[in-house]
Amino acid sequence: MKTVGLDLHKVNSQVCVLDENGEVEREARFATDRRQFARVFGKRPRMRILLESSTESEWVARYVEQLGHEVIVADPGYAPMYPRRVRRVKTDRRDARALAEACRSGTFRRAHRCSEPHRQLRAQLTVRETVVRTRSRFISVVRTLLRAEGLRVRSGDAATFAERVQEVEIGARLDALVDPLLDLIDDLSERIKTMDHELGLLARSDEVLRRLRTVPGVGPVTAITFKAVVDRVERFKRAHQLESYLGLVPGERSSGEKRHRGRLTKQGNARARWLLVEAAWTAFRGKAPGTAGLAAWGNRIAARRGKRIALVAMARKLAGILFALWRHQVDFDPGRIRVSKLTLRAA
């Protein structure tokens, strides 16, 4: 079987085809669209094609698979895949040839390909996050305009911001400035309400999501994001692998007798990591039912290392708890959080 290296990019992509003997048969550059992929790979015998994981990789992999080829999506961070890469000389042609050689020799590490339902769910969550951030930006602009005139809006939920602005006498000039923004804020709030309703229905109908939501501080959005990012819980052997996947473990540079652990790696999905930290805030305060054990655990770390490090440690612990609930198909049990038996690890 012939092996192919595909260096995929947003506009144009580079391909390198090796024959059965490992010799370069063809190298070409073409536009990254379906018509060109059909021209290059259609009506050809089955080939094994290797490409890096990227924004475009999933739709390309699915389309080329439909053309009858075997497609491997590889982890771009796997260094042995590029044994001859020279930092000063890097071209798409060299990268495509390196991918083809890695495909032939098997020196690659497969990247996880998310299932279609969870891929669509992640897209839905991305849209929701964008709408929420846009509303927050509009609210910030309105607050800034009012503060410049010595006016303030009382605190409250973002969904009621427009109503609270109406309580302030801002005058005709300011009213003409902020009125278009308030209309947009109201419209965005309605859209967010609709999205949250759909996510809430999903969270109540899915058994895994219901179990994840038994953890204090974990609401529908956090549970759905966690499930969509993890995709298949069985691909992680233990909780630490998942915590590392989410970027909640410290980086390390150790050699010989010296061991240095630095800041978080922050690998993986940033949205899931941020939501876990937000859930950790709820557990850290200890006000919600079932958070007493977690709060005591977090406070002991905060006394030694500070509140910020304690929050990250709690977010990491929550990721492990969610992993265990999903894997063992059980609900959260606050009684199993025993502070006296917990080992306080450096965050």
Q: What is the pTM of this model?
A: 0.84
Q: Could you list the pLDDT tens digit for every one of the 347 residues in the chain?
A: 999 999 999 999 999 999 999 999 999 999 999 999 999 999 899 999 999 999 999 999 999 999 999 999 999 988 888 877 666 778 999 999 999 999 999 999 999 999 999 999 999 999 999 999 999 999 999 999 999 999 999 999 999 999 999 999 888 999 999 999 999 999 999 999 999 999 999 999 999 999 999 998 899 999 999 999 999 999 999 999 999 999 998 887 777 767 777 778 888 889 999 999 999 988 888 777 778 888 888 888 999 989 889 999 999 999 999 999 999 999 998 877 654 444 334 34
The predicted pLDDT at position 12 comes to 96
- Label the pairing between strands 250-255 and 258-264: antiparallel
Q: How far, CA to CA in Å, does 276 sit from each of 59, 84, 152, 226? A: 29, 40, 32, 9
Please name the residue ranges forming H helices in 169-306: 171-205, 207-212, 220-230, 239-245, 270-285, 292-305
In b/e form, how buried is each residue of 231-255, taking b as 16+ CB within 10 angstroms? bebeebeebeebbbbbbbbbeeeee
Measure Cα distances from 148 to 17, 139, 142, 151, 172 in Å.
63, 14, 10, 7, 15
Closest CA to 36 of 9, 58, 54: 9
